[in-house]
Amino acid sequence: MKYDSEINRRKTFAIISHPDAGKTTLTEKLLLFGGAIQTAGAVKSNKIKKHATSDFMEIERQRGISVATSVMSFEYKNFLVNLLDTPGHKDFAEDTFRTLTAVDSVVLVVDSVNGVEEQTRRLMEVISMRKTPVIVFINKMDRDGKNRFDLLEEIEKELKIQLHPMTWPINSGKDFKGVYNMHEKNLVLFTAGTKASADDQIKIEDLSDKILDTKIGEKDDAAIREDVELLSGVYGDLNTSEYLSGNIAPVFFGSAVNNFGVKEMLETFIRIAPTPRPRQTNKREVAPFEDKFSGFVFKIHANLDPRHRDRIAFLRVCSGKFERNTYYHHVRMDKDFRFSNPYTFMARQKEVIEDAYPGDVVGLFDTGNFKIGDTLTEGEDFYYTGIPSFSPEIFKEVINKDPLKTKQLEKGLLQLTDEGVAQLFTQFSGNKKIIGCVGELQFEVIQYRLLQEYGASVQMNNLPFYKACWITSNEPEKLNEFTKYKQANIAEDKDGHPVYLAQSEWFLNTERSNNPAIEFHFSSEIHK
């Protein structure tokens, strides 16, 4: 209990959305409020040459999308906020899903023009399973989009979560005039092309106040009065405990690119978002206030700084206090390690820290000792559970175009697949390298990074496989027999575990029914 004050001032959350909903732009504006950056860089603006802080890889800058989770920390009103910006693209959903295991709450960005989209639904399924508290930010109110009541109904229906409006917009698109803050009882006016300031806020204790008429006009003033009366009757005050249980999501309206409505959301977030929460291990639930340190690796990134070819493991601190130059127990390897240069992050910028507390994300320089899901403790023998792993659905053979770069290629393949966005399989005694992913864009990113970061030029050829299954058996001779006769469909993962590459669902089901002694697994977590 000796770290209470430090733990209680930490708020760790992820920003998630469908691609192009404005997630990375919102991240920039939050960092701006926290004083972490001086100028927010618009993701697709030609006028602003500064790139988004969180999009640090060259390929991200070229495409205007995020393909890797970024970690950033900033202080706001004596709270230490750890913000994880996640990839929006569905091909990198696995990275996002794993990131969600390392946070205590989520901000979901919804595009007011497009409403609920495919990736938003998938992400919310994971969030609902984990009962993670959610705040919804409805973005792009300055564009002509869906009716605000229709949006609320659509989000509730599609995402199966009850909403609670905290701010309410006055019109949208070219007629967008601002938002009324239901909690603070004030009106924030919007002027296109400008940033919201304190001068734009009008305190209105009573909506019958005539000042409304002069500021927004009689028609809109009658509409906002009617809307607020209706909303107050339906929703009442926010039940914070229902939000913390993941049953109710507070909703804010705004325009991230104009920095409008963002401050209102941040102020509420600081007030209600959870501090670090307990985490489940294979043996017991671990509370953040326990004296002894523990944490888990949820992400690995090779070449965070291409000049130094470094490899960083991202560790979420779950309990106790992490200290620099202190020996901690690596549970999977059953070895003790100490870390002389642990980092905190501002996207690519890193800073050596002396200590860290539950909720913090620490970057550990890694020479190949870590895998995703690894647990560090102060001696206790347990590991954190619930880190998702997916069976790949698209497979390609890697063809080396430059035999002189074989070593570089092998190193690159190992390091990039360690990051968890792709799986590496080897066939026919080590000759044939196969990459398995859940989306096409991952192959493009891997090919690009192999060339740029390792100097290895490759061609990727499609393979006719449907799914990869890890195979185990209590009868070793049956397993040996199966791998011998199905050689064309058998590969090894990086750790030497046998994998069956099924050509179709029919083939997979046939092999499962014909080989009852063999178990087919859709996750590699069985080998923990």
> Residue 411 class from Cβ within 10 Å (0-12 exposed, 13-18 middle, 19+ buried)?
middle
Phi and psi, residue 497, nearest 5°: -85, 140
Which segments of 312-380 does DSSP mark as H helices, in order?
none
CB 224 within 8 A of CB 234: no
Q: What is the pTM (predicted TM-score) of this model?
A: 0.76
Task: Give the side-chain half-sphere CA count within 13 A for 114.
Answer: 14
pLDDT of residue 207: 67
DSSP three-state, residue 211: helix
In eight-state DSSP terms, residue 340 is S
pLDDT of residue 63: 44
Q: Which long-range contacts (CB under 8 A, 24 or more apart) does 42-45 make?
A: 42/257
Of 326, 314, 341, 300, residue with least CA distance to 379: 326
CB 187 within 8 A of CB 212: yes
3-state secondary structure 389-407: CCCCCEEEEEEECCHHHHH
CB 54 within 8 A of CB 124: no
Per-residue pLDDT for the chain (528 aa), expressed as one digit of tens each?
678 999 999 999 998 888 788 888 888 888 888 775 544 444 433 333 344 444 444 544 444 434 345 678 888 999 999 988 776 445 445 667 778 889 999 999 999 989 988 878 878 887 887 889 999 999 999 888 888 899 999 999 999 999 999 999 888 788 888 888 888 777 777 776 555 554 555 666 666 666 666 677 777 777 878 888 888 888 888 999 999 999 999 999 999 888 888 989 999 999 999 999 999 999 999 999 999 999 999 888 765 555 555 678 889 999 999 999 999 999 999 999 999 999 887 644 678 889 999 999 998 988 878 888 899 999 899 999 877 666 777 899 999 998 888 899 988 888 777 777 788 899 866 678 999 887 777 788 788 888 888 899 999 999 999 888 889 999 999 999 999 889 889 999 887 889 999 999 999 999 999 999 999 987 766 445
Q: Considering just the CA atoms, what is the radius of gyration of the chain in Å?
A: 25
- Terminal Cα distance for the chain, rounded: 31
Domains of the chain, start order: 4-176+237-272 (3.40.50.300), 279-377 (3.40.50.300), 394-527 (3.30.70.3280)
CA distance 366 to 370: 7
> 323: which 2 tokens?
């200290």
CB 42 within 8 A of CB 113: no
